[in-house]
Amino acid sequence: MKINKIFHIEWISLVYLTLFVLAVFSPKIIKHTYFSFEEETVEELLIFVFGLAGILIFSLYQRLIEHKEREREVVENEREKIKRELVESYKYIGSINRQVNVLKNIANKTSLEIVEKDKFTKDILVSLLANAAASVGTKTAFVRFLDLERGRTSHEVLHSLEGVSSLKVSNKDLIQIHDTGVSQAFITSECGKKLFVVPSDHREVPEKAFLLTLLDPSLAEEIDTSLLKVFVNQAELIYHTLKKQNGHKEYVPEADAQLSN
């Protein structure tokens, strides 16, 4: 690139030098009249022509340089675009790999616990929440099982690595998410914290599961909602299985203060 630039500079310099020499030596070139024009008139005409030629060549050269600059900018922008896309691709691949590992761990741990204990336990729900939180890079997540007909909380399980003991969320907000049929939404808790909500896919169930995670809204585009759907659907399945194991008795939340209708 540098060699080409030097070549262009030398080329245009030689052209200007040639025109300058011709203009200076035009009196020596013109020795007599041409076509009834006086010698001085012909000399002035030649100097004008050489000057005009220099201006035209300079203008063409400028256009050539501008064209090359535009091409260089296009190539540079394309290179940056490819670079960004490559980085995003690697991030996406890394995210997929982490999610696959999480799902493998869930399937393996769930299978081991069922075989060892011969039944579902509430520890599986806690483990499920821990993996759900890890998959989206948050330290706090909880699942709420909501009686849609009565609008009351049937049960709630909380997982937190940052000392959060309770998060008060209105059940009306969750029912509204169910009624509108959205696959995800942000709501605000009573203490002003933003929560990312993913409901289960089941519509016709008496008690529906809602997975809630403490998440910055600016990170919403990076979250794979389909993975969280797996977690919340599994949590709902495990909850209903636990109820059947206990003779269809309702679970009583450990602390009513954690729940808000």
Cα–Cα nearest to 234, from 132, 135, 154: 132
Share of the chain above pLDDT 90, in %: 14
Rounded CA-CA distance 247/261 in Å is 26
Residue 23 host element (H or E): helix 2-24
Nearest to 159 by CA among 126, 195, 131: 126
Q: Give the distance, in angstroms, between the CA of residue 125 and the centroid of all CA atoms in the same chain.
A: 30
Quote the pLDDT of residue 9: 56
**In terms of Cα–Cα distance, which of 157, 212, 149 is closest to 184?**
212
Give the global pTM: 0.56
Percent of all residues in the chain with a pLDDT value above 70, rounded to a whole number: 68
Over residues 192-205, the mean pLDDT reads 88
Q: What rounded mean pLDDT belongs to the chain?
A: 76
- Mind giving me the DSSP string for 171-212? HHHHHHHHHHT-S-EEEE-TTS-EEEEEE-S-SS-SEEEEEE
Question: Per-residue pLDDT averaged across 10-37, rounded?
Answer: 67
Segment among 9-13, 169-173, 199-203 with least mean pLDDT: 9-13
Give the tens place of pLDDT for each residue, 101-133. Answer: 666 665 555 555 554 554 455 677 888 888 888
Report the DSSP beta bridge partners of residue 238.
none
List pLDDT tens digits, range 222-254.
777 888 888 898 889 888 888 877 665 544 444
Among the ranges given (1-15, 94-108, 161-175, 203-217), the one the predictor scored with the smallest mean pLDDT: 1-15
Higher pLDDT, residue 191 or 115: 191
Is 199 exposed, middle or buried, given 0-12, 13-18 or 19+ CB atoms closer than 10 A? buried
pLDDT confidence of residue 113? 54
Number of H helices and number of E strands within the chain?
A: 6, 5
Provide mean pLDDT across the span 53-75.
Answer: 82
> Is 256's pLDDT higher than 50?
no
Give the model's confidence band at 260: pLDDT under 50 very low, under 70 low, under 90 confident, else very high.
very low
Bridge partners (DSSP) of residue 209 are: 145
Burial of 1: CB neighbours in 10 Å, binned 0-12, 13-18, 19+? exposed
